[in-house]
Structure 1
Amino acid sequence: MDLPRLPDHHRIVDLAGVRIALVADSPARREALDGHLAPVPDSCGDAQLTIGFVAEPLAVPLRPADTVDYAVECWLEGDRVHLRHATGLSAVVDGTVLVVGGESTEPDVAFRHLFQYGVTHLLAPLDAWVLHAGAIGRTGRAALLLGSTGSGKSTLAYAALSAGWALLADDLVVVSTAGTALRVTGIPKQVAVPAELLPEGGHHNGEIDARNRRPMPAEVIDVSTHELAGLVRVSHGTGRGQLNEVPAAEALEDVLWSFPARTTPTLARGAFELAARLSRLPAVELQHAAGPDIRVRRAGELLEEAWASSLLKADSPRDADQ
């Protein structure tokens, strides 16, 4: 199965230090592709990788998928990876190229999911690993925000932004392992925060969506790269919320669940090795306050407490067998 012929690129972006050419075969697909990477800075260098979005459906192997994760099926065919979303879009990763093609009943959702899995395979050979996580930063150092959908990552991201932190991402990040330090860069998408938490005015804009969330403008995202200092597991709590230290064994499990690569045999070993490194960073659980009227303020206070204490000090990583 040959890849479709791609037009010339219309843009080259720098994502986590990797130069990626963006290619689309129509104005609508160009707009959709740019929309997923809008805040990512442009690059004037030669592209290392290519991401394309085309009308042509991309065939998948005529056999059961090797892995299925949520709505995405994955087939491994030598060095090539085939992906298909339950709503119709499909994708192929072949060496330095990711192509998404076809039609979908939910194109935005399908493209976002295929992009997440596709870019995981595209970046991994460059020691850049995609995680389903948020990230916030201060003075060049960052903490990963870990938790499943609905755990409160967007709420904590908004609380951090309101308290003066840099918001790198609330949903998807790239962790780079080149060099001695681990570094994180956000993969920007529009941050949407529960409407009940937002005051009139402030950072947010746009209409409330079906999940009762209101989007914030793209410019609130910081696209710079930060050194990783620690991990924050996000969850819902009671009363005024609280902080709990997270043992390394639990942190390892949290991180592994954040890897889209965890279910792919060809990437699982590298994902586990990075997860082990990440689990040796200081880790804390931040349980949100129960009341929406104090949740944002208390989350900011708890973050400050964790950052000022030994809970998020990465100067001397802990033992992995803690």
Structure 2
Amino acid sequence: MPTTTHLGLDLYGTRVRVRSSVAAATRALRDRLAPFLREPLEGAELALDLVPARAHHRAAAARVAPQLRWERSRPLWGQCDATTLALTDGASLARIDYGAGRARLAIAASTAREPALFARTFLLLPLLELLRTRGLFFVHGALVTRGRESVLLLGRGGGGKSTLAAALLRCGWRLVADDNLLLRLERGRPRLWPLEQELSLAPTVLRQLGLATGNADPTTKQRLPLDRLPASLRASHAVAPRRVLVLAPAAGDVGLRPLARSAVLTLLLEENPMLWAQPALAAAHLGALRALLQPARCWRYAAPRLTPLDLEQLGRRCHADLSLEKNAGRAIDVKLG
């Protein structure tokens, strides 16, 4: 009989009760969301139940139509109606009840054995959907801050956001988040917090930040808790960014080029396939993204390619580009509604 573990999560005031009978899921939550863990919470707003997948779960998973689809280490797809969403990889099954604020995940061993699919996707997506019902919205990006300003770094996975954020730390900037953020409107003003409080960087980058990597494979990114960074290099939150950089391959000239806010919004929407699962939540989510971008100047940024990578030189170049931004041309001003 599996042991049931009771946990609580407190994500910036939104409380989640977790009940897990899957050891791999319990470990993944403790590993990825450690800063938010609390004792089991009374009166939590949201609930997450994690159980082993049985034959009837697999049969139900086979009936899920692919209305929504993701590609990870293997495909993941979902089917929604007015109040619920079913999500599966063909072996495990998650059911999200938006009205009740509850998600139940039946987890197969084959899913739990694939970290990229399980811990980073299948386990987190239902939680992120529950958080949307409380006005917390996911943003895939890195965020750095310096004094009273902050810069949001966006781009496709593997496009260099984390490396550029690390480089800016060598020039007086502080890291809020390396990859994943939560966005909330407070009195109509956007605010960003880190979700997964960790670093995911190549060993060569970590060593240039003064972080030990042991005998790590130089071709594989390492994940380290954010608190491994000195306190002087990190920040718990930041003011809404007034500048957004979308990283682009340095195929031609490096540096900043003006970018329409509508293009940035399109990128954010493409990275949130769950956004349209529930129309009411989609409207609120879209409104929050528009509020985030409306006061910002948006740029496409092609960072210089340095071989071998010199983190300090890369940081100085980007910092100089940001300092000269006011003379680089006016951002394209496209109203978002």
TM-score tier, shorter chain, comes to 0.7 to 0.9
Aligned equivalents of 2:42, 2:302: Cα separation in 1: 44
Could you list the runs of 5+ residues in structure 1 that have no partner in the other structure?
312-316
Larger Rg: 2
Question: Where does residue 227 of structure 1 map in the other structure?
Answer: 239
Percent of pairs with identical residues: 20
| Structure 2 residue matching 1:9: 3-state secondary structure | strand
| Structure 2 residue matching 1:320: 3-state secondary structure | coil
Could you list the runs of 5+ residues in structure 2 that have no partner in the other structure?
327-331
Q: Which moves more between the two structures, 118-127 or 18-27?
A: 18-27
| Structure 2 residue matching 1:158: 3-state secondary structure | helix
Matching of residues 163-174 of structure 1 within 5 Å: 163-174=171-182
Do the aligned residues in 1 keep the contact of 2:142 with 2:180 (CA within 8 Å)? yes
Aligned equivalents of 1:34, 1:98: Cα separation in 2: 18
Instruction: Pick the aligned partner of 1:90 from 88, 93, 103.
Output: 93
For the structure 1 residues 284 and 64, does the alpha-carbon distance in structure 2 shift closer, same or farther, using more than 3 Å as the test?
same
Q: 2:44 is aligned with what amino acid? A: A
For the structure 1 residues 47 and 192, does the alpha-carbon distance in structure 2 shift closer, same or farther, using more than 3 Å as the test?
same
Displacement of 1:189 in angstroms is 5.3
Are 2:9 and 1:9 equivalent residues in the alignment? no
Aligned equivalents of 1:320, 1:204: Cα separation in 2: 46
Q: 2:51 is aligned with what amino acid? A: V
| Structure 2 residue matching 1:177: 3-state secondary structure | strand
Q: 1:107 is aligned with what amino acid? A: E
For the structure 1 residues 32 and 8, does the alpha-carbon distance in structure 2 shift closer, same or farther, using more than 3 Å as the test?
closer
Q: Deviation string for 1:154-183 (max 9, x for gaps)?
A: 212322334443323222211112322101
| Structure 2 residue matching 1:291: 3-state secondary structure | coil
Aligned equivalents of 2:235, 2:37: Cα separation in 1: 8
Matching of residues 151-170 of structure 1 within 5 Å: 151-170=159-178
For the structure 1 residues 194 and 176, does the alpha-carbon distance in structure 2 shift closer, same or farther, using more than 3 Å as the test?
same
Aligned equivalents of 1:50, 1:24: Cα separation in 2: 11
Instruction: Pick the aligned partner of 1:73 from 59, 77, 83.
Output: 77
Do the aligned residues in 1 keep the contact of 2:190 with 2:288 (CA within 8 Å)? no
Name the TM-score, length of structure 2 as normaliser. Answer: 0.77
Do the aligned residues in 1 keep the contact of 2:248 with 2:301 (CA within 8 Å)? yes
Are 2:65 and 1:60 equivalent residues in the alignment? no
Question: Where does residue 200 of structure 2 map in the other structure?
Answer: 192
Q: 2:33 is aligned with what amino acid? A: L
Work out the number of aligned pairs and report it.
311
Instruction: Pick the aligned partner of 1:109 from 85, 97, 116.
Output: 116
Displacement of 1:318 in angstroms is 5.3
Do the aligned residues in 1 keep the contact of 2:160 with 2:247 (CA within 8 Å)? yes
For the structure 1 residues 254 and 285, does the alpha-carbon distance in structure 2 shift closer, same or farther, using more than 3 Å as the test?
same
Aligned equivalents of 1:241, 1:295: Cα separation in 2: 16
Q: Deviation string for 1:246-281 (max 9, x for gaps)?
A: 222322222222324345353443333333333322
Do the aligned residues in 1 keep the contact of 2:189 with 2:291 (CA within 8 Å)? no
Do the aligned residues in 2 keep the contact of 1:8 with 1:23 (CA within 8 Å)? yes
Question: Where does residue 179 of structure 1 map in the other structure?
Answer: 187
Displacement of 1:42 in angstroms is 4.0
For the structure 1 residues 176 and 307, does the alpha-carbon distance in structure 2 shift closer, same or farther, using more than 3 Å as the test?
farther
Are 2:35 and 1:39 equivalent residues in the alignment? yes
Q: 2:210 is aligned with what amino acid? A: G
For the structure 1 residues 206 and 98, does the alpha-carbon distance in structure 2 shift closer, same or farther, using more than 3 Å as the test?
farther
Instruction: Pick the aligned partner of 1:259 from 254, 272, 275.
Output: 272
Q: Which moves more between the two structures, 167-176 or 275-284?
A: 275-284
Aligned equivalents of 2:26, 2:270: Cα separation in 1: 32
Instruction: Pick the aligned partner of 1:23 from 19, 22, 27.
Output: 19
Name the TM-score, length of structure 1 as normaliser. Answer: 0.80
Do the aligned residues in 2 keep the contact of 1:236 with 1:290 (CA within 8 Å)? no
Q: 2:267 is aligned with what amino acid? A: D
Aligned equivalents of 1:110, 1:276: Cα separation in 2: 30
Q: 1:195 is aligned with what amino acid? A: P
For the structure 1 residues 319 and 171, does the alpha-carbon distance in structure 2 shift closer, same or farther, using more than 3 Å as the test?
same
For the structure 1 residues 31 and 169, does the alpha-carbon distance in structure 2 shift closer, same or farther, using more than 3 Å as the test?
same
Q: 2:236 is aligned with what amino acid? A: S
Q: Deviation string for 1:63-82 (max 9, x for gaps)?
A: 52222122321111441211
Aligned equivalents of 2:12, 2:307: Cα separation in 1: 35
| Structure 2 residue matching 1:60: 3-state secondary structure | helix
